Structures are given as structure tokens and as C-alpha cells.
């Protein structure tokens, strides 16, 4: 059999696969169907699977890293401690000492979002069913919105619990003339309500855009290679682009998890000190 | 473990002969810490955070502005619908949303970026 022929047909099949559509990677595929009809669908999907994988990775890593606590930490314990101290410092700096009670929540939030972002960058194995392809749960707005609503829900509940109705002073900034209050208060309420939306849109849009860009560039490479001649030669350019974007995506995965956590901290600060 | 470390440390402090050993130990520890930091992905990020702060700021504020307008419009539409004038509510809500968005942009520009909030928020909460 002629190996060159094999290579070409393989490239063609690759091009077909890669050019299938940049949005296909975000498709929710049920793994264990569990539908009750009437729009109630509790199927175990690839999104559920990858959220469990993120959770499992975090559990495994931190259990493994702290299995033998040593005074002089080794590599794994050292990295776990660095993450712990990084989040602890962030919580202390943004919320203050009394923000310590929120540390477990912020730490969990950061680690989960970071791992979901990061593990979504793993390559899929070609030829496996779509249900087993790498999936980024944080590229779906329902996931990020749920997390954001959780953060803002904690702010509201804790604020009301701690300050009672004085928490509503959050919507009445101090030092504003009384005649301006009918204008300022709705504005404050709208900016408060838009927090979970902008928090979730930011994370979801970053993840979605990054993955789409990588896939689109991959489509360029595949199409250029099979075009032949000079076009095949310049297919190296989008390939370099993919490498660049991919490296950038690691930074984005960390940065967006960090931004999500720190903005949650800033909002929680409101719950502790509603009067501004 | 800890006792073993302690007994290793104390002669290093009392005996000057042991000084170089302790020094090498410290160096190895420093290497381990550096490796751990890199493994955790924490080393390059803070430096780069500041480098692309302007871009991040712009996007963040832009998203907040758009979301404010949309939330204001949606809220106005909803409340207007309850009161029997959805369109009037939408228009009023749009105005308030626009105002909230502008306030957010102003606040964002004054407070600095959330990304570099480690420094920023210390004097920001009063704003």
C-alpha cells in the first residue's frame, strides 16, 4: 500500500473532523440518560462528568499533597501550601480578618473553577465517542451563573442575617442628598443585580472564546494542509497561532478563576460592611 | 519526622562546622519551593497579570456596562409588566441601567482593576 496515499486520506479525514465546527466541542452529550419528560432532564452528561473530574482531581491532589505533613514541605505539599496561602492572603486583603469564615468557600470556588478551566485544555483522544471528549464546564453560562448566584446569594443571606434590614443601606450610599435618593437607589439596585450576570458572563465568555479561537485556527491548519502547494507551506502560521493561544489559555484559566474568586471576595466584603 | 528535623537543625546552629551543610539544605529548600510554585502555576501569572491589565480592565468594564444596561432594561420591563406598562417600564429601566452602567465605568476607572485588586482594594472599599 502506498504510504503517501494513506497520509493524504488521513489528512482529509482530519480536516473533515477539525472543520466540523468550532461549537461542537460545547455540545452537551448525555452519558446516563435520566429524563422525566416535561422539560425535567437530570441526565448525567459530559458536563457532569467533567465537573466530577475537576472535583476528583482537587480531592486527590490535596489528599495526596497533605498525606504526610512535613515541617519542610516537599514538592506536592509545597504547591498545596502555596495555593492555600495565595487564597488566604487574597481573602485577608480583600475582606479583612473577619473574612476568614469565607475562606473555605472562596478556596473551594477558586480550585474548582481553576481545575475546570485547566482540565478543559486537555486534548481529546481522536476517535472516541463525543461523550468522552474533553469538556470545559465553565464554558457554559449556566454553570458559571449558578456559581455566581451562589456567591451573591451568600452575600444577601449573610448580610441580612448579620445586619438585618441595615443591610439594605447597601443601596443607600452615604453622603448623597435626599432628593437624589430616588435616582441613586434604583441605580444601586441595578448594579447589585448585574453583579452575578457580569461575573458569570466574564468567565463563560473567556472560556468559550478561547476554545473557539483554538478550534478555528485548527480548522485553518487542516484546510491549508490539504489545499496543497504554497498553501500547505503557510499552514505553519496558524499552527504557531494555536500554540500561542494555547499558552495564553493557561494564563486565562488561572486569571479567570482568580478574578471570579476575588470579585466574590469583594462582594462578600459588602455583606460584612454594607454601608459605604 | 519533626523531631528528626529538629535534631538535625540544632547542631547546625551550634556547630560552625555544620554551617555549609545547613546552607546547602536551605538552597535545596529554596529550589523545592520554586519548583512547587511553578508546579502550582503561580509564578508566571502575577507578572503577566500586570502586563495585560489594561486589556483586562477594558473588557471587564465593557462587560459590566453592557450587563448593567441589559439588567436595567429587563428589570424595568418586568416591573412595568407587573404595573401594566411593559414598554414604559422598559424605557425607564433602560435609562436607569445606562446610568448604573456609567456609574460602574466611573467606579471601575477610579478604583483600578479587580485583577490587581490585591493592591487596589485596600484603599478601595470606601469608594
User: For residue B51, is pLDDT > 50?
Assistant: no
DSSP for B83-117 reads HT-HHHHHHHHHHHHHHHHHHHHHHHHHH--STTH
Q: How many domains does chain A have?
A: 1
User: What percent of chain A shows pLDDT beyond 70?
Assistant: 92
**Subunit contact B36:A79, Cβ cutoff 8 A:** yes
Contacts of A74 in chain B (CB under 8 A): 32
In this prediction, residue A11 carries a pLDDT of 65
In a domain, A204, yes or no: yes
pLDDT (average), residues A236-262: 91
Domain interval for residue A204: 42-272
Rounded to a whole number of angstroms, the distance from the CA of B28 to the nearest CA of chain A is: 10
In this prediction, residue B9 carries a pLDDT of 45
Of A106, A126, A139, A116, nearest in space to A264 by CA: A106
Distance, CA of A229 to CA of A211 (rounded, Å):
29
Rounded to a whole number of angstroms, the distance from the CA of A187 to the nearest CA of chain B is: 5
Choose the mutation target among A85, A97, A99, A186 for the interface with B, i.e. most B CBs under 10 Å: A186
Choose the mutation target among A183, A187, A200, A202 for the interface with B, i.e. most B CBs under 10 Å: A187
DSSP for A221-265 reads HHHHHHH-THHHHTTHHHHHHHHHHHHHHHHHHHHHHHHHHHHHH
The b/e string for B15-27 (b: 16+ C-beta within 10 A; e otherwise) is eeebeeeeeebee
User: For residue A19, is pLDDT > 70?
Assistant: no
Q: Which residue has the higher pLDDT, B29 or A261?
A: A261
A276 confidence band (pLDDT: 50, 70, 90): low
In a domain, A82, yes or no: yes
A51 confidence band (pLDDT: 50, 70, 90): very high
Least confident of A9-23, A160-174, A202-216: A9-23
Distance, CA of A267 to CA of A196 (rounded, Å):
10
Of A190, A202, A205, the CB nearest to B96: A190
In this prediction, residue B53 carries a pLDDT of 62
> What does the mean pLDDT of chain B come to?
70
In a domain, A167, yes or no: yes
User: For residue B110, is pLDDT > 90?
Assistant: no
In a domain, A22, yes or no: no
**Subunit contact A259:B114, Cβ cutoff 8 A:** yes
**Subunit contact A198:B126, Cβ cutoff 8 A:** no
Q: How many CB atoms lie within 10 A of CB A229?
A: 7
A244 confidence band (pLDDT: 50, 70, 90): very high
Q: What sign for the dihedral angle of Cα A132, A134, A137, A141?
A: negative
Rounded to a whole number of angstroms, the distance from the CA of A26 to the nearest CA of chain B is: 22
In a domain, A26, yes or no: no
In this prediction, residue A250 carries a pLDDT of 92
Burial class (CB in 10 A: 0-12, 13-18, 19+), A245: middle
CA closest to A62 among chain B residues: B40
> What does the mean pLDDT of chain A come to?
86
pLDDT (average), residues A75-87: 89
Domain ranges of chain B: 2-39, 52-120
User: What percent of chain B shows pLDDT beyond 90?
Assistant: 26
Q: How many CB atoms lie within 10 A of CB B76?
A: 24
B125: DSSP letter: T
In this prediction, residue A245 carries a pLDDT of 92
User: For residue B118, is pLDDT > 80?
Assistant: no
**Subunit contact A250:B122, Cβ cutoff 8 A:** no
pLDDT (average), residues B38-61: 61
In this prediction, residue B90 carries a pLDDT of 93
Any idea how long chain A is? 276
Distance, CA of A244 to CA of A233 (rounded, Å):
19
Rounded to a whole number of angstroms, the distance from the CA of A193 to the nearest CA of chain B is: 7
In this prediction, residue B50 carries a pLDDT of 44
Amino acid at each position: 500500500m502506498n504510504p503517501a496515499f494513506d497520509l493524504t486520506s488521513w489528512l482529509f479525514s482530519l480536516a473533515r473532523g477539525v472543520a466540523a465546527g468550532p461549537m461542537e466541542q460545547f455540545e452537551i452529550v448525555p452519558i446516563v440518560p435520566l429524563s422525566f419528560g416535561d422539560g425535567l432532564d437530570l441526565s448525567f452528561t459530559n458536563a457532569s462528568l467533567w465537573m466530577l473530574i475537576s472535583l476528583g482531581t482537587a480531592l486527590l491532589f490535596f489528599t495526596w499533597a497533605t498525606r504526610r505533613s512535613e515541617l519542610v514541605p516537599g514538592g506536592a505539599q509545597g504547591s498545596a501550601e502555596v495555593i492555600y496561602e495565595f487564597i488566604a492572603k487574597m481573602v485577608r486583603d480583600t475582606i479583612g480578618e473577619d473574612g476568614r469564615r469565607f475562606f473555605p468557600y472562596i478556596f473551594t470556588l477558586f480550585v474548582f473553577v481553576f481545575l475546570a478551566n485547566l482540565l478543559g485544555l486537555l486534548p481529546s483522544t481522536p476517535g472516541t465517542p463525543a461523550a468522552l471528549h474533553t469538556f470545559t464546564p465553565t464554558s457554559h453560562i449556566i454553570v458559571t451563573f449558578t456559581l455566581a448566584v451562589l456567591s451573591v446569594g451568600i452575600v444577601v443571606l449573610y448580610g441580612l442575617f448579620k445586619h438585618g434590614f441595615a443591610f439594605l443601606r447597601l443601596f443607600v450610599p452615604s453622603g448623597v442628598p435626599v432628593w437624589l435618593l430616588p435616582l441613586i437607589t434604583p441605580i444601586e439596585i441595578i448594579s447589585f443585580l448585574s453583579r452575578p450576570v457580569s461575573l458569570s458572563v466574564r468567565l463563560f465568555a473567556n472560556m468559550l472564546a478561547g476554545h473557539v479561537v483554538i478550534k478555528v485556527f485548527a480548522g485553518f491548519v487542516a484546510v491549508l494542509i490539504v489545499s496543497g502547494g504554497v498553501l500547505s507551506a503557510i499552514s505553519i502560521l496558524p499552527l504557531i497561532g494555536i500554540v500561542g493561544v494555547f499558552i495564553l489559555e493557561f494564563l486565562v484559566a488561572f486569571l479567570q478563576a482568580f478574578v471570579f474568586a476575588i470579585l466574590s471576595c469583594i462582594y462578600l466584603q459588602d455583606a460584612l460592611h454594607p454601608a459605604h | 519526622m519533626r523531631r528528626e528535623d529538629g535534631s538535625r537543625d540544632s547542631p547546625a546552629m551550634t556547630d560552625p562546622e555544620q554551617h555549609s551543610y545547613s546552607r546547602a539544605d536551605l538552597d535545596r529548600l529554596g529550589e523545592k519551593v520554586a519548583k512547587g510554585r511553578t508546579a502550582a502555576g503561580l509564578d508566571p501569572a502575577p507578572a503577566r497579570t500586570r502586563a495585560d491589565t489594561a486589556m483586562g480592565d477594558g473588557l471587564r468594564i465593557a462587560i459590566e456596562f453592557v450587563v448593567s444596561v441589559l439588567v436595567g432594561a429587563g428589570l424595568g420591563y418586568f416591573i412595568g409588566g407587573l404595573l401594566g406598562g411593559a414598554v414604559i417600564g422598559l424605557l425607564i429601566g433602560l435609562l436607569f441601567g445606562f446610568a448604573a452602567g456609567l456609574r460602574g465605568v466611573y467606579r471601575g476607572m477610579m478604583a483600578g482593576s479587580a485583577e490587581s485588586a490585591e493592591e487596589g482594594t485596600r484603599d478601595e472599599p470606601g469608594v
